[in-house]
Structure 1
Amino acid sequence: MATDLLELDLLRTFVLAADLDSFARAADQVARSQSAVSLQMQRLEEITGQQLFLKQGRGWRLTASGEMLLGYARQMLDLNHQAITALTATHIAGKVRLGLPADFAESGLPIALARFAAIHPQMEIEVTLDRQAILAQQLQSGKLDVVISFGKEVPEHAIPIGPLPIRWIGGSNNTVASLQPLPLLLFEAPCMFRSAGLHALEKIKRSWRPALTSGSVAGMWAAAQAGLGITVRTEIGMPAGCKAFTTSSGLPALPDVQVFMLTYKKTPSAAVKRLIDILHETITAQLNDIRKRAKKRA
């Protein structure tokens, strides 16, 4: 029987399960067992009186009722955050130093920073865009408070955000994927995306040539938009005029990459912790949207 009371703890787990597309990954985030999360979702269905999940192959998808609840759940959790912050936040002054790859610069970052500034208007936010190796060095030396990173695996003390598929990305010209040798737009070595792409081509013995080598993500996107070749990247920050190629194009499959955050201090300050929470929510929603678009293309 449906009631008129929705528990925030259930809604938080529900949103995580939907965003991460997995009960198991949601369980990791809330420090519960997968069976406990399944019971939570059953409880939520009992409260709402609606079926929220529908089996699809080995996985599941949200029903129409589930999609409707997801929108309301996000609003309720956001209002809860705002209420807690308004009642407990202090007027903190100082600086928060954030490092991230250029992929994130125009991809959810403005929203996250605006939300943080509204909560801590007296805080100064210093943003550094650079290569991961350089950001890691600055974090280790204490020049940065938090860094967003990509990696094959999530380090032991990192804050996991979620997996994201690596893609072959080019402009609107479909024929570029069939060119021999394949013209590639590559980031300067060392680069995990470059290595993943070249390894995949080597496995199928596909020839390639460097059409562009750059240290700038913006430069690679511009070259892709112009039709100069294909790059290897995630869809984070992918500009208009570019698209991700599917395996039907004849290009080999690529692995997933993990997105996570690293902090300088094991116990960050209240302001840094709040920035981490906002970034986590923003990027998790973004990754979920990318995965949903990928499913539609498949």
Structure 2
Amino acid sequence: MIHALLDLELLRTFVLAAELDSFAKAAEQVNRSQSAVSLQIQRLEEMTGQPLFVKQGRGRRLTAAGEMLLGYARQLLDINHKAVTALTATHIAGKVKLGLLADFADSGLPTVLARFAAIHPQVEITIVIDRQGVLQQQLQAGKLDVITVFSSDLPAAAIPIGQLPMRWIGGETPAIAQQSPLPLLLFEAPCLFRTTGLAALDKVSHAWRPALTSANITGMWAAAKAGLGITVRTALGLPDGCKIISTGLPPLPEVHVLLQTQAAAPAPAVQRLTHILEETIAEQIKNIKGGKITRRV
């Protein structure tokens, strides 16, 4: 009969023995004798009711049950590591300076702040919400610790989170997309979304005209809701009153979602906030690609 609870210490030894392909090498890692490691594996086999290794020549190989347990053991040890890290990091103090594009501020910021403050109540957070070019300048100047970024490629020093398709976005009435020339709501240059959208229209010789130019996404969403035209963005932070326009316009590529940090070895508080940002945005991307929060016309 399999025991209801598995011993993490035994699982750690088991994973080391499997990954190092040697009980002797595993013994060195856990500061035990080889016979002690063998006894630990035997104890784990008793707990699981399954043989985990079989002899093969002078060595051993995993059984089918051992292969199955290995995957679960790695997950359990990883969860344990994350829990210990989170609990032992509550004493962290200091300051964290976060730079966000409005797309992220309007969607995942409350979740990020709540999670971070619950773990690190002593850390002071400064938030700057601005255009990407401004955030990157402040990051390079050391005025920000971590920023969110959209990019057409993957810079070597960036932390990739995922990819999202760029979308044509307008108000509640899709007829705006049928107008000729197409009224566009444009961000001030330089802007990746502006450049990509105009290139897509020019490629198919689709006539367009600038209906509005804005320096921030708040003005862009307001203009879209008012029916002034359509713009290019992702579904991240898509507000009520705005819809994805999926017909009648040229396709758009995907864009990389990244994090950039100011230091190669950031402070513990920055590392923790970066990790929470990464998890929160990754979940948003998953929901968008799964169709959970996408509105279309």
**What is the TM-score of this pair, normalised by structure 2?**
0.72
Report the structure number with the largest CA radius of gyration. Answer: 2
Shift of 1:133: 1.1
Q: 1:1-298 counterparts in 2 under 5 A?
A: 43=68, 81-86=82-87, 88-246=88-246, 249-293=247-291
Q: Say which SS state the counterpart of residue 293 (structure 1) adopts.
A: coil
Shift of 1:84: 3.5
Shift of 1:80: 6.8
How far does the alpha carbon of each residue in 1:121-178 deviate from its partner, in whole angstroms, 9 at most, with x for none? 0111101111111111111111111111011011001111011110000111011111
Q: Say which SS state the counterpart of residue 134 (structure 1) adopts.
A: helix
Gaps of 5+ in 1: 10-41, 48-72
Shift of 1:77: 8.0
CA contact (8 A) 2:244 2:295 kept: no
Distance in 1, matches of 2:242 and 2:295, equals 17
Distance in 2, matches of 1:153 and 1:78, equals 32
Distance in 2, matches of 1:179 and 1:218, equals 24
Q: Say which SS state the counterpart of residue 180 (structure 1) adopts.
A: coil
Gaps of 5+ in 2: 12-66
Distance in 1, matches of 2:78 and 2:171, equals 38
Alignment CA distance shift 1:261-1:7 (3 Å): farther
Shift of 1:260: 0.6
Shift of 1:106: 1.6
CA RMSD of aligned residues (A): 3.1
Shift of 1:237: 1.1
Code of the aligned partner of 1:263: T
Code of the aligned partner of 1:119: I
Q: Say which SS state the counterpart of residue 136 (structure 2) adopts.
A: helix
Q: Say which SS state the counterpart of residue 291 (structure 2) adopts.
A: helix
How far does the alpha carbon of each residue in 1:4-63 deviate from its partner, in whole angstroms, 9 at most, with x for none? 679999xxxxxxxxxxxxxxxxxxxxxxxxxxxxxxxx948x97xxxxxxxxxxxxxxxx
Q: Say which SS state the counterpart of residue 172 (structure 2) adopts.
A: coil
Alignment CA distance shift 1:77-1:185 (3 Å): farther
Code of the aligned partner of 1:149: V
Shift of 1:90: 4.4
Shift of 1:81: 3.8
CA contact (8 A) 2:94 2:269 kept: no
Shift of 1:278: 0.4
CA contact (8 A) 2:245 2:296 kept: no
The alignment of Structure 1 onto Structure 2 pairs a total of residues equal to 235
Code of the aligned partner of 1:255: P
Alignment CA distance shift 1:203-1:94 (3 Å): same
Q: Say which SS state the counterpart of residue 143 (structure 2) adopts.
A: coil
